[in-house]
Structure 1
């Protein structure tokens, strides 16, 4: 696939018009207040992952609606003092998989928390968290239109809330330094990271690779790939729901969340990405309110930088905490 979106020089300056509802902030404040009516009730249970250098725990905690969310927690064996931590969110369709899938940050010396994504985990990696709430409207296959006629019912209201609670669950462990938590994810996980960076104050950093869930309307206008294509397909049938759908999506759009983010951030983007078009990513990145950097992979699609980007993330994390220590 050749370059199809705006030239890089334009992408670096691209700021699309933002459309957000006047109750955007109160919607999210009320959502999180409702979630916190349920005890977090975190359980860390030792898990035999056959890893001699990393201690692994199966995690369960209460997310949106008090629903039990699964996860993994890992720390370098022998750790006795609180560590910086990385909370990971997962790409579309995937689940938490197995602990050895998440060793990079643990091997680098960080506490590592992985959140399972409710209702997902049957595409690529297995998951263990059901979504006991169904959308109120008919939907296309997938998750993008589940409950899309009302922000109160929308699927990602539950997921973003689970993700906020994941930070709280990680912070509850005695081997986590709650003032040094970084959140991270790619694709859907990057979109979730962007939301959590907007909704949780005091984070040490955020790492967002080829983030999904941002610039919904533009994405549906310039690509026909899934998962944004789920929205297109839905609207091709439900022709009278366009404004209602995009009103709901505005509460979950990274372009509206980014101006509320203040933690230092590392983004990545792939210029040939027809799943998450570069302009949707730069549209959010350019609005991001905190200190930020972006790695550009010129000849890649949605795989982005892959292992090269993993190295960039580890270097960025090392520098982040080194600089923070120097400032203390």
Structure 2
């Protein structure tokens, strides 16, 4: 795979052309107020996952519309005092899977909450959370579901679920709510940015190769899905470009980044055709908090840093969670 995007020196100064809606903050305040009109109803049921070093709980909470959302809550075995908590969001198409695949953060000594993604979980790792809300015409996938109107858009529900997941994780008596971080890869990275812009008191976020950033560039630069879903939708539904752009602007990671209030560790890969590096740098360059860094993987596609990035997080994140 050859380089296809801007040179690295230009990436470091690149700015998105995404237009922020004037009512962006009001839209999200209304959305979250509506969600919080439902009881959080967080439940944690101990399960035997066959693991000796961690305790696993099957978590359920009320997300968007009061709909039940699943998750895994994992603690180091024998935890007796509240711990800092890492809330993790998942990649496109994936679900929470099985608990033994989520051992990293509990092994590092933290509480770990993994949110299932509503309606997803059939693209690699299984999910257990349905999405009971329908939509108008959409291209197969999730990126165009309800794209005709920001109030009906799929990611309004998913981002709201994510904020509520933070609230659910913090509600457990063995978490220290004042020391909460959010992490995620690809779609999970985009959700992490949204949470970072909507939850003002996180101690850190770590979005890796984040999806859902700089839609105007992403949807015209790469032919790879998921961004290609938008172009395919518009190829069929001619004349709706402005309407779609208006919807997507409420969900662009660039605008959430502009509200980022916690230290952040990003990552990008210069040969990433799924989430092109310019779209990641658009969010990174817009990120509001002065303490931010980005790991750049020069010869990688969308896999990015993988275990190398996890190692970077293990060097960086504990200092934020235990400060």
What's the TM-score, normalizing by structure 1? 0.97
1:171-186 aligned at under 5 Å gives the runs: 171-186=170-185
Partner of 2:120: 120
In the alignment, the residues of structure 1 paired with residue 259 and residue 31 of structure 2 have an alpha-carbon distance, to the nearest angstrom, of 16
Give me the whole-angstrom Cα distance separating, in 2, the residues matched to 1:227 and 1:165: 25
For residue 23 of structure 2, what is the aligned residue in structure 1?
Answer: 23
SS of residue in 2 equivalent to 1:126: coil
| TM-aligned CA deviation for residue 317 of structure 1 | 1.2
How much does 1:222 deviate?
Answer: 1.0
Deviation at 1:18, TM superposition (A): 3.5
Corresponding residue for residue 131 of structure 1: 131
1:33 and 2:4 are equivalent in the alignment:
no
> Which residue of the partner structure matches residue 264 of structure 1?
263
SS in structure 2 of the partner of residue 179 of structure 1: strand
Which residue number corresponds to residue 165 of structure 2? 166
Distance 1:7 1:283 in 2: 14
Deviations 1:144-192 (A, max 9, x none): 1100010000000000000000000000001100010000000000000
Q: Which whole-Å CA distance do the structure 1 matches of 2:321 and 2:33 have between them?
A: 31
1:32-181 aligned within 5 A: 32-135=32-135, 137-181=136-180
1:320 Cα offset (Å): 2.1
For residues 200-245 of structure 1, the C-alpha deviation after alignment (integer angstroms, 9 at most, x for no partner) is 0100110100000011120111111000010010001111110000
Runs of 4+ more than 3 Å apart: none
SS in 2 for 1:283: helix
Q: Distance between the aligned counterparts of 2:17 and 2:315, measured in 1?
A: 34
Q: Cα offset for 1:108?
A: 0.4
Gaps of 5+ in 1: none
CA contact (8 A) 2:93 2:121 kept: yes
Q: Which residue of 1 aligns with 2:293?
A: 293
State the secondary structure of the residue aligned to 2:294: strand
Paired with 2:214 and 2:315, the residues of 1 have a C-alpha distance of: 29
1:116-136 deviation digits (Å, cap 9, x = unpaired):
00000001100000000011x
CA contact (8 A) 2:18 2:215 kept: no
The CA distance in 2 between the partners of 1:56 and 1:18, in whole Å, is 41
- Worse overlay, 211-220 or 64-73: 211-220
Give the aligned length: 322
Distance in 2, Cα, partners of 1:220 & 1:321: 36
TM-score (ref. length: structure 2): 0.99
CA shift, 1:314, in A, is 1.0
Q: Distance in 2 between matches of 1:318 and 1:66?
A: 33
Provide the C-alpha distance between the structure 2 equivalents of 1:17 and 1:216, rounded to a whole number of angstroms: 9
Query: What does the per-residue CA deviation read over 1:291-328, in whole Å, with 9 as the maximum and x for residues that have no partner?
Result: 21100000000000011111111111123235x2xxxx
Aligned to 2:186: 187
Distance in 1 separating the partners of 2:18 and 2:159: 20
Give the alignment of 1:2-17 within 5 angstroms. 2-17=2-17
d(CA) in 2 for partners of 1:102, 1:316: 19
Q: 1:262: Cα distance to partner?
A: 1.0
Counterpart CA distance in 1 for 2:321 and 2:49 is 28
